[in-house]
Amino acid sequence: MFTEIGPWLDTRTGRADDWPPEAVLAAKGNHTVSVVLPARDEERTVGQIVGRIRRELQERFPLVDELVVVDSCSTDATARVAADAGARVIHQDAVLSRYGALPGKGDALWKALAVTTGDLVVFIDADLRNFGTHFVTGLLGPLVSDPSVVYVKGSYDRPLADGAATQPHGGGRVTELVARPLINLHWPALAGFIQPLAGEYAGRRTVLERVPFVTGYGVELALLVDLFDMAGLSALAQVDLGVRVHSHQTIEELGRMAGHIMLTAWSRLKREGRIVAADRPQNRMLQFCHVGNGRTLRVSDVGVHERPPLITVPEYATASRLAPQREQ
Ligand SMILES: O=c1ccn([C@@H]2O[C@H](COP(=O)(O)OP(=O)(O)O[C@H]3O[C@H](CO)[C@@H](O)[C@H](O)[C@H]3O)[C@@H](O)[C@H]2O)c(=O)[nH]1
Ligand SMILES: O=C(O)[C@H](O)COP(=O)(O)O
């Protein structure tokens, strides 16, 4: 296994510093770029991220052709803040509504892919507290410079900020305790991805529209496994984006995220015929949540659904013919 990963790490791991905006612009050619931010209740951070992309990657360097925030059923002012900062805002449930509403991040990304037109699509989480434009340019670099690369994941150091205390490498708890062990057990060829759950990644539309999108927090693991199956390891790359600081979820929320990841892994193992199950795992999770000095029982549905590859959706197939300058 390591004989495959070593050369991959050497040839397919880059650094954002190698891709300043001038260099990406020079290599951009006829590509068109869409940047998508999925956002649920991110009024505190989304405006700043959108504003920087607009000023630095649209007005100063004409790199980003389309900047879209998907409002993922927010209950705060996310949509207004994002629009005021200059993004086009779409509401998750308003897109392809005849296919019904499904909650969660994966569905927000599927809907975003449906309404954008760039032949390169960059996804950036909207809860980043230390966003810099190198997140976008670093992810685009390998795609604009090497036609054999189809998908690029961000990697970074992940501090865990807990009040005043910060552990420099304590973040990414679901990654370290759930995703990395699962990947090493079942997809060892993918073990070289430093941040397999990173929410910052970019891909060619020609591949993104051909894979299913898992809803909820299963979307990143599913994309990695499915794009690996479709295109092979050498078509996947990663770029070091430095440090990522974001809003941490509670441990109970991360427990439910872990449920999404495990069920997603199960779905891929089953599809690949690598497990033969008498039963489906059940989707309910019972948790003991702390409230004040006591505990309360909470039952959640951690099941994930799957949206079909967009290329198979008639509305998308028709609309996509209008897209400017698709894959070269
Ligand atoms: O229903 C939702 C939930 C989240 N988000 C947005 O998705 C992004 C990431 O969500 P977050 O809850 O901050 O996830 P993290 O705790 O940061 O989880 C990490 O791990 C997840 C599982 O792989 C990935 O989806 C995330 O991108 C990655 O940052 C943020 O912009 C959210 O606003 C939505 O759009 N809809
Ligand atoms: O990616 C992860 O592992 C989860 O988002 C948890 O991240 P955190 O431990 O930094 O909150």
SS3 track for the chain: CHHHHHHHHHHHEEEHHHCCHHHHHHHHCCCCEEEEEEECCCCCCHHHHHHHHHHHHHHHCCCCCEEEEEECCCCCCHHHHHHHHCCEEEEHHHCCHHHCCCCCHHHHHHHHHHHCCCCEEEECCCCECCCCCHHHHHHHHHHHHCCCCCEEEEEEECCEEECCEEECCCCCHHHHHHHHHHHHHHCHHHCCCCCCCCCCEEEEHHHHCCCCEECHHHHHHHHHHHHHHHHCHHHEEEEEEEECCECCCCHHHHHHHHHHHHHHHHHHHHHCCCCCCCCCCCCEEEEEEEECCEEEEEEEECCCCEECCHHHCHHHHHHHCCCCCCCC
272 Cα–ligand 1 center, Å: 27
For ligand 2, say whether the CB of 154 is within 6 Å of any of its atoms. Answer: no
Q: Is residue 166 part of a domain?
A: yes
Which pLDDT does position 328 carry in this prediction?
33
Q: Is residue 87 part of a domain?
A: yes
- Give yes or no for a contact between 193 and 214, defined as CB atoms under 8 angstroms apart: no
Partnered with residue 242 across adjacent β-strands are none
Q: Mean pLDDT check: name the lowest of 28-32, 166-170, 304-308.
A: 166-170
For ligand 1, say whether the CB of 42 is within 6 Å of any of its atoms. Answer: yes
Q: Is residue 328 part of a domain?
A: no
Q: Is residue 96 part of a domain?
A: yes
110 Cα–ligand 1 center, Å: 14
For ligand 1, say whether the CB of 249 is within 6 Å of any of its atoms. Answer: yes
Q: Which protein residue has the closest C-alpha to ligand 2 atom 5?
A: 172
Q: Which protein residue has the closest C-alpha to ligand 1 atom 27?
A: 199
| Average confidence (pLDDT) over 85-90 | 98
219 Cα–ligand 2 center, Å: 15
Which pLDDT does position 320 carry in this prediction?
52
Residue 176, classified by CB atoms within 10 Å of its CB into exposed (0-12), middle (13-18) or buried (19+), is middle
Q: Is the pLDDT of residue 147 over 70?
A: yes
Q: Is residue 327 part of a domain?
A: no
322 Cα–ligand 1 center, Å: 31
Q: Are strands 33-39 and 66-71 parallel, antiparallel or unpaired?
A: parallel
For ligand 2, say whether the CB of 178 is within 6 Å of any of its atoms. Answer: no
For ligand 2, say whether the CB of 195 is within 6 Å of any of its atoms. Answer: no
Domain count, the chain: 1
Please report which confidence band the pLDDT of residue 325 belongs to, taking 50, 70 and 90 as the band edges. very low
What percent of the chain stands above pLDDT 70?
97
More confident residue, 47 or 289: 47
Which pLDDT does position 308 carry in this prediction?
98
82 Cα–ligand 1 center, Å: 17
Mutation to probe ligand 1, out of 46, 71, 127 (largest number of atoms < 8 A from CB): 127
Which pLDDT does position 317 carry in this prediction?
87
CATH number of the domain where residue 53 is located: 3.90.550.10
| Average confidence (pLDDT) over 77-87 | 98
The interface predicted TM-score of the complex, written ipTM, equals 0.98
For ligand 2, say whether the CB of 210 is within 6 Å of any of its atoms. Answer: no
Expressed as residue numbers, the domain containing 243 is 5-322
pTM (two decimals): 0.96
For ligand 1, say whether the CB of 107 is within 6 Å of any of its atoms. Answer: no
Q: Which protein residue has the closest C-alpha to ligand 1 atom 29?
A: 199
- What does the alpha-carbon distance between residue 195 and residue 131 come to, in Å, rounded to a whole number? 17
